[in-house]
Amino acid sequence: MWRRRDLLKAAAAAPLAIAAVDPLAKLKIGVTDWNLRQTGKLEALALAKRLGFDGAEVSLGRRVVDNRLPMDDAALQDQYLAEAARLNVAIAGTCLDVLHVNYLKNDKLGQKWVAEGIPITRKLNARVMLLPFFGKGALETRQEMDYVGDVLRELAPEAEKAGILLGLEDTISAEDNVRIMERTRSKAVLVYYDVGNSTRAGFDPAKEIAWLGKSRICQFHLKDNPHYLGEGKIDFPAIVKSIAGLGGFEGFANLETSTQQSVEEDMTRNLGYLRRLLEGEKKG
């Protein structure tokens, strides 16, 4: 008969053994509420569930009301938690949408919103808060990157205490993202890797994902807009192979795909393609 100590060792080793056999076993597929055309709406959770996703990434809101983020409402947060529990669907991260207005690279309000988004993300049981850097807020110079790294160095301790990861989503190289991460001196600041953004910026996402490794990526966005997955320029079999090569990535890859026909039809089509691709990779 096995002793208790032997059973505990076997139980601890089981997840590692599963990951070794199937490196995609812990990868979950979510969808952004804004691409469901349900930005900041509770209904996004039910729609994501009905379409077959494991979770929905939710926007914390872009239009500030009374100097507060739209999601900075305890009653609304409780509604999200109750609905997620009822549907058995995850809140697959949050997006600090307001950084499209108050750019973290040069606006003190951006720093305020990051600080206020951390406890909201924790309350929603979401592990990752996306920090976007696009348009006029895009990171273009080394000075801007260093400034963001210094700002996040101040904010990261609160993220660490809350168990929240701050995800950098931008148009710069994997190497430049790592320089920002290293400047923060925190394990709470990681790359939110968007394969579409990287491709448009001239980078090879499969190679960058492999170079970054599992420890430096917190989440993924999968898209090839305006195309359906697998029908555009991006080599998604290579992307999936790179994610599998991370050796047991645990977290979400969220579809941020645009709509050509209808949200439900197109999301179903893109999700089906991705599920088949993942299944094929598992079978080798």
Query: What CATH number should be reported for the domain holding residue 125?
Result: 3.20.20.150
pLDDT of residue 255 exceeding 90: yes
The mean predicted confidence, pLDDT, of the chain is: 94
Whole-angstrom distance, CA of residue 108 vs CA of residue 149: 14
Indicate whether 5 belongs to any domain.
no
User: Which residues are 18's β-sheet partners?
Assistant: none
134 within a domain of the structure (yes/no): yes
Q: Are 148 and 180 in contact (CB under 8 A)?
A: yes
pLDDT confidence of residue 237: 97
Tell me whether residue 252 is in a domain.
yes
pLDDT digits (tens, 9 = 90+) for 179-199: 999 999 999 999 999 999 999
Q: Exposed/middle/buried for 179, CB within 10 Å: 0-12, 13-18, 19+?
A: middle
Structural domain contains residue 96? yes
Residue 24 has pLDDT above 60, yes or no: yes
Structural domain of 49 = 24-283
pLDDT, tens digit (0-9, with 9 covering 90-100), for 47-65: 999 999 999 999 999 999 9
Helix (H), strand (E) at residue 165: strand 165-169
DSSP E strands, 8-156:
27-32, 55-59, 90-95, 128-132
Nearest to 93 by CA among 44, 43, 127: 127
Q: How much of the chain exceeds pLDDT 70, in percent?
A: 93
Residue 10 pLDDT > 70, yes or no? no
Q: Which residue, among 183, 174, 124, has the nearest Cα to 156 in the 3D structure?
A: 183
Residue 84 within any structural domain of the chain:
yes
According to DSSP, the β-strands at 128-132 and 90-95 are parallel
Q: Is residue 51 part of a domain?
A: yes
Is residue 7 in a domain? no
pLDDT at 11: 55
Q: Please, are residues 198 and 233 in contact by the beta-carbon 8 Å criterion? A: no
Q: How much is the pLDDT for 202?
A: 98
- Is residue 33 within 8 Å of residue 40, measured between CB atoms? yes
| 283: pLDDT strictly greater than 80 | no
Tokens in use for 215? 């420890």
Domain count, the chain: 1
pLDDT score for 141:
98
Domain assignment present for 8: no
Average pLDDT over residues 131-157: 98
Q: What is the CA radius of gyration of the chain?
A: 19
pLDDT in tens, 89-138: 999 999 999 999 999 999 999 999 999 999 999 999 999 999 999 999 99
